[in-house]
């Protein structure tokens, strides 16, 4: 059976509230992050991801306090990302109650950050998030919440992140984000086959079958989603029972 597949709700937080958009724009409110985090923990989610999507310097202190509040309500692993540029940012969030940190733009700008985090805290703490879009010339990595294209290619960068010590890759397909048409299974399958570390799929969940497909066709180790959970479209316990019935190893 292998390791159990993980279901991970993601809270995108802006100015103290959870938001959700489509293709990284048109954000709408989805509720209080502390209440949502507690509910997901109680419903049997395997982990929780919490991203400060605007990560402005002014909001840093408020965000850290919120991480502490969320962590106090959880009994599942908790990954936090947004605005992490140096070791002291990692320290601050781990001290606030995070179990892992997710780094994205800062890692592309300065890949040595991955080495520094894993050397200091261990690979299990370091999740490298990659926002990528399938453009006419292939999959490119994007920075700043999907606003700035880089010349880094998805598969090369994911491999480098692994070699530098990253414990997991969180891959969000910008083409699929918020569309509810299913995950980028072809790219996910290639990532899973080429890398030896776990791949978390993000972007595109709209129905229970999409989760089944991302595990079977995409070979993902975990599936992350936001709006289908936040707006009650797919309850976590119901999803896990469905996956179990489909022969996928999940923790019930």
Question: What residues does 250 pair with on adjacent strands?
Answer: 5
Backbone angles phi, psi at 60, to 5 degrees: -60, -50
CA distance 25 to 45: 26
- Give the distance, in angstroms, between the CA of residue 81 and the centroid of all CA atoms in the same chain: 9
Residue 114 tokens read as 């991955």
Question: How big is the chain, counted in residues?
Answer: 252
Other Cβ atoms less than 10 A from the Cβ of 115: the count is 14
Residue 222: closest CA among 246, 234, 205: 205
Residue 183 tokens read as 């995950």
Burial class (CB within 10 angstroms; exposed 0-12, middle 13-18, buried 19+) of 173: buried
Output the CA angle 204-72-123, nearest 5 degrees: 60
CA distance 76 to 74: 6
CA distance 185 to 49: 21
Residue 68 tokens read as 């502490």
Question: Any idea which residues carry the catalytic annotation?
Answer: 12, 131
Residue 227: partners with Cβ closer than 8 Å, 6 or more residues away: 20, 30, 178, 180, 233
């Amino acid at each position: 059976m292998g390791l159990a597949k993980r279901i991970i709700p993601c809270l995108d937080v802006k100015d103290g509230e959870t938001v959700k958009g489509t293709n990284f724009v048109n954000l709408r409110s989805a509720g209080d992050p502390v209440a949502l985090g507690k509910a997901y923990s109680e419903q049997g989610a395997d982990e929780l991801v919490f991203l400060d999507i605007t990560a402005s310097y002014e909001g840093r202190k408020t965000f850290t306090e919120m991480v502490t509040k969320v962590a106090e309500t959880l009994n599942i692993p908790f990954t936090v990302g947004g605005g992490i540029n140096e070791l002291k940012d990692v320290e601050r969030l781990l001290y606030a109650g995070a179990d892992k940190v997710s780094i994205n733009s800062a890692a592309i700008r300065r890949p040595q950050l991955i080495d520094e985090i894993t050397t200091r805290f261990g690979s299990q703490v370091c999740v490298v998030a990659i926002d990528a879009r399938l453009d006419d010339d292939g999959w490119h990595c994007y920075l700043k919440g999907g606003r700035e294209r880089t010349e880094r290619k998805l598969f090369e960068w994911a491999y480098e992140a692994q070699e530098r010590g990253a414990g997991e890759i969180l891959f969000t397909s910008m083409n699929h984000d918020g569309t509810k048409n299913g995950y980028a299974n072809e790219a996910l399958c290639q990532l899973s086959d080429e890398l030896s570390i776990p791949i978390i799929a993000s972007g595109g969940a709209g129905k229970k079958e999409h989760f089944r497909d991302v595990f079977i066709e995409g070979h993902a180790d975990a599936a992350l989603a936001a709006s289908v959970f936040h707006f009650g479209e797919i309850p976590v316990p119901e999803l896990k029972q469905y996956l179990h019935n489909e022969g996928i190893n999940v923790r019930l």
